[in-house]
Amino acid sequence: MFTGIITGVGRIVASHDLGSSSHHGKRLTIACPPAFIDDVGLGDSIALNGACMTVTRLIPGQQQFTIDISAESLDKTTGLAEGCKVNLEKALRAHDRLGGHIVSGHVDGIGQVNHFAPVGESWELRVQVPPELARYLAYKGSITVNGVSLTVNRVVDNADIPSSGCEISINLIPHTVQTTALGELHAGAGVNLEIDTVARYVERMLSTAQGGSQPL
């Protein structure tokens, strides 16, 4: 369980195949900020760009750790290749503040950045959301983008082409741009998206009440 409040920005410094075919995953080595892994143990969970991963090795002298990622996870996520900057968040502890919103660390889909530019002192981020996730997005609702808990400022549905999903607009304050890897985004970039857990339950209750079922 996570909150979407990023506690460090790392970089994937090495990627090694775990097998010879596309059915095999990879072992990634992540360099992290000083002291980031001081309280981390083997088997602990750390979210990389919003995807929950398990620590398989610690390299304290180099401030690095490794994770093994399956082919399935690689297929369902983006931004987890060698050289990429990644947003890092350690799993929530029972006594921690819930500064963002409840985040599971399971990526629901990949969005595409349509626009990322400064507006006044802030930045406007517009993301194209795939159709299977569009119904979960609402004005002032929560969304996780590359592991960062953010508030949706606007939702624009394409009524002419429902299959295209929707576009959401998000305002990023300078602090968020400076302390996360979101500042690396650009038009055309892919981003990992996780919808609000509450929205899942609302959709499920409504579909059940209507006698149907619409699993995500």
Regarding whether 114 and 197 lie in a shared domain, the answer is: yes
Predicted pLDDT at 128: 96
The angle subtended at Cα 171 by Cα 112 and Cα 104, nearest 5°, is: 65
Regarding whether 129 and 86 lie in a shared domain, the answer is: no
pTM of the model: 0.92
Q: What does the CA dihedral 115, 119, 121, 127 come to, rounded to 10 degrees?
A: -30
Spatial distance between the Cα atoms of 199 and 173, rounded to a whole number of angstroms: 25
Give CA separation, 209 vs 84, 138, 198, 201, in Å: 44, 21, 17, 12
Regarding whether 122 and 39 lie in a shared domain, the answer is: no
Regarding whether 114 and 79 lie in a shared domain, the answer is: no
State which amino acid sits at residue 33.
Answer: P
Predicted pLDDT at 212: 59
Predicted pLDDT at 191: 98
Regarding whether 72 and 159 lie in a shared domain, the answer is: no
Q: How far is CA 138 from the centre of its chain?
A: 18
- 27 is a domain residue: yes
Regarding whether 75 and 15 lie in a shared domain, the answer is: yes
E-strand ranges in 40-199 read 45-48, 51-59, 64-69, 85-90, 109-119, 122-129, 142-145, 148-157, 166-172, 190-195
Nearest alpha-carbon partner for 127 in 203, 194, 53, 47: 194
153 and 137 in contact (C-beta within 8 Å)?
no
Regarding whether 156 and 197 lie in a shared domain, the answer is: yes
CATH of residue 44's domain is 2.40.30.20
Predicted pLDDT at 172: 97
Number of structural domains found in the chain:
2
- 116 is a domain residue: yes
Predicted pLDDT at 216: 55
79 and 103 in contact (C-beta within 8 Å)?
no
Q: What does the CA dihedral 64, 173, 50, 43 come to, rounded to 10 degrees?
A: 40
Spatial distance between the Cα atoms of 102 and 111, rounded to a whole number of angstroms: 20
Regarding whether 65 and 116 lie in a shared domain, the answer is: no
* Structure tokens that stand for 93 in this block: 């502890």
Regarding whether 61 and 126 lie in a shared domain, the answer is: no
Range of the domain at 169: 109-209
Predicted pLDDT at 214: 56
Regarding whether 168 and 130 lie in a shared domain, the answer is: yes
- 102 is a domain residue: no
Predicted pLDDT at 33: 97
Nearest alpha-carbon partner for 3 in 71, 92, 83, 114: 92
Q: List the chain residues with pLDDT less than 50.
A: none
